[in-house]
Structure 1
Amino acid sequence: MLLSRQAPNSTMFRSILSRNIVQKSSRLVYRCPTPLISRMGLSVSARTNQLSRTPVGGSESKKGGGFKESTVEFSAGKATLLFLIVGGLSYYIFEREKKRLESEQHSEDTRGFGRPQIGGNPFDLTDQDGNKFTEQNLLGKFSLVYFGFSHCPDICPDELDKLGVWLDTLKKDNIKTQPIFVTCDPARDSPEVLKEYLKDFHEGIVGLTGSYDDIKKMCKQYRVYFSTPPDVKPGQDYLVDHSVFFYLMDPEGQFVEAIGLNYDETSGAEKIKQCVRGYLPKAEREKLAKKNKSFWW
């Protein structure tokens, strides 16, 4: 007798299920005629004869019997994010190290043969508080040395204002520098005059003065030009011309860089940062030079 191809109605299917429900091990096991369930589009476990919870066309996981979930898209997203983070960090480190090496090379070039000696020699001046100030006060810290005079109408005030911006910017990066203002007009710039003059600018600027010969000697050390007449009578009016540079000195009292009018509030601060980060003490420079020499020879 041929089986009908017509699907059973719902009443007939419930009747068949109710007759084949068997209680085993505190769980219900449905035993339905396999042909009937197959005709309804369900799959049957061949081993236990249980209704499979795997969707038609799906597959079971090997471990837990649950469904396999695709994690390709999630893993790819995490990998992309990790790649961007690592790549960005590597680029930042590379660029920073490159700038540091360039600064070290530049610092070595300024100390090389054939370049004029700037600073680094003894001097003896007086600060705005009347205290002695010598080359020993440059040791152990970076210093920015500027030569000007209190009667300067425009250049000196502008440069000192710019110096104040540099000092604030450097402080944010924990870079400490000693700002020094050396007068080119010792006849009019006494310690008291310098102290009053520097009140209008960034706190911490050290004002230096001395005799005409002492100022001339220091200006010569730093290759600074100035036109102050040597013999000035009290009350005499005259003009002073001078070089306009900030001289960056390292913690050993040696010249690093001259920063002129071409540097503004931003570029000047960046230049100082670059020089400070590229600084190597003398012992390390000699050790590195010895290592490079042994490598080539």
Structure 2
Amino acid sequence: MQRAIRITVLLLILGLGSLWGAAWFGRQPGEPLGGAFMRNIAWLTGQQVPQPGIPGTVLPEGMTLGGPFALVDQQGRNVTQANYASTLMVAYFGFTYCPDICPTELGNIAAAMDLLNEQEAARVTPALFSVDPERDTPDQLRAYVTNFHPRMVGLTGTPEQVAETARRFRVYYAKVQRPEMSEYLVDHTSYIYLIGRGGAVRTLLRPQSAPEAIAAAIRAQLSQS
């Protein structure tokens, strides 16, 4: 039995390695490696192949990510995905005490918003989903997100609400306490999520995407709405 398990695991590793190799050598000009990998998965499973003209990693048909959520915004109001149904959410999961990565990613999102025209920007809601409910109160979020963009919202909640939202979006996060620091940090997933109606993710953007790439992905999604 153990030998069969080892063989199965080895075959899975070899299969994934082959898919990543095929993605590396077969990706199209300007296509992210992750997008090429997802395209190969879609082809193997018989799902719809993502359109190469759409920036970002388009999820194959049948693959779901995201969904309904119930949180609290920076004004202390209880909100759900329905509150943002008329806009495309450009979301990042992070925390206000983040020393470097979060401010950089949120700054890129804000810069992308500035690249949109007035009509386009009115149809977009940039958002920080907190993964640190212990410290990220509505007041803390309100003071933080206004540093980036006037349309940006901050979302927090109880630890249970945050955990459930993270589960739906498959976001990893965990506290990290370093000996040399008095405050803990939070390790977390660093993708940018473009979220449509019902809280469903329509596109994933890799970490450190340039504002121009984010703006292009936003426009691509707005053109389909």
When normalised by structure 2's length, the TM-score is 0.67
Answering whether residue 170 of structure 2 is matched by residue 223 of structure 1, we say yes
Q: Could you list the runs of 5+ residues in structure 1 that have no partner in the other structure?
A: 1-100, 230-235, 281-297
Does the 8 A contact of 1:103 with 1:274 survive in 2?
Answer: no
Q: Aligned pair 1:110/2:110, yes or no?
A: no
Q: 1:125 to 1:252 in 2, by over 3 A?
A: closer
Please state how far the C-alpha of 1:245 moved relative to its aligned partner.
1.3
Shift of 1:253: 3.4
Structure 2 counterparts to residues 259-274 of structure 1, below 5 A: 259-274=205-220
Q: Does residue 238 of structure 1 match 2:187?
A: no
Q: CA deviation at 1:199?
A: 2.4
Name 2:154's counterpart in structure 1. 207
- The SS at the match of 1:272 is helix
Cα distance in 2 for partners of 1:250, 1:103 equals 20
CA distance in 1: counterparts of 2:54 and 2:172, whole angstroms: 28
- Among 107, 121, 143, the alignment partner of 1:196 is 143
Q: How many residues were matched structurally?
A: 169
Q: Counterpart of 2:193 in 1: which secondary structure?
A: strand
| Alignment-derived partner of residue 254 in structure 1 | 200
**2:108·2:210 contact (CA, 8 Å) conserved in 1?**
yes
In structure 2, the partner of 1:127 is 73
CA distance in 1, matches of 2:196, 2:187: 27
Stretches of structure 2 lacking an aligned partner (at least 5 in a row)? 1-49, 177-181
SS at match of 1:143: strand
Distance in 2 of aligned mates of 1:173 and 1:136: 21
SS of residue matched to 1:217 = helix
Identity of aligned residues (%): 31
Higher relative contact order (CA 8 A, sep 6+): 2
2:134 corresponds in structure 1 to 187
- Kept after mapping to 2: 8 A contact 1:126/1:209: yes
1:146 pairs with 2:61: no
Amino acid paired to 2:59: T
Give the counterpart letter for 2:168 in structure 1: Q
In the alignment, is the contact (CA less than 8 A) between 1:184 and 1:228 conserved in 2?
Answer: no
**C-alpha contact 1:138 1:252 (8 A) present in aligned 2:** no
Q: What residue in structure 1 maps to residue 12 of structure 2?
A: none
Cα distance change, pair 253–213 in 1 and its aligned pair in 2 (3 A): closer
Structure of greater Rg: 1
1:151 is matched by which residue type in structure 2? Y
Alpha-carbon distance in structure 1 between the residues aligned to 2:65 and 2:173 = 16
Equivalent in the alignment of 1:61: none
Mark the CA change 1:262 to 1:189 in structure 2 (over 3 Å): closer, same or farther. closer
1:178 aligns with 2:125: yes
Q: Give distance in 2, aligned partners of 1:106 and 1:153.
A: 29
| CA positional deviation for 1:183 | 0.7
Deviation of the 1:250 alpha carbon: 2.1
Cα RMSD after superposing both structures: 2.5
Corresponding residue SS for 1:266: helix
Shift of residue 262 of structure 1? 4.7
1:158 is paired with a residue whose SS is: helix
User: Alpha carbons of 1:264 and 1:105: their partners in 2 closer, same or farther (altered >3 Å)?
Assistant: closer
Q: What are the residue-to-residue correspondences of 1:37-116 with 2, within 5 Å?
A: 102=51, 110=59, 112-113=61-62, 115=63
In 1: Cα distance, 2:52 partner to 2:113 partner = 20
Secondary structure of 2:209's aligned partner: coil
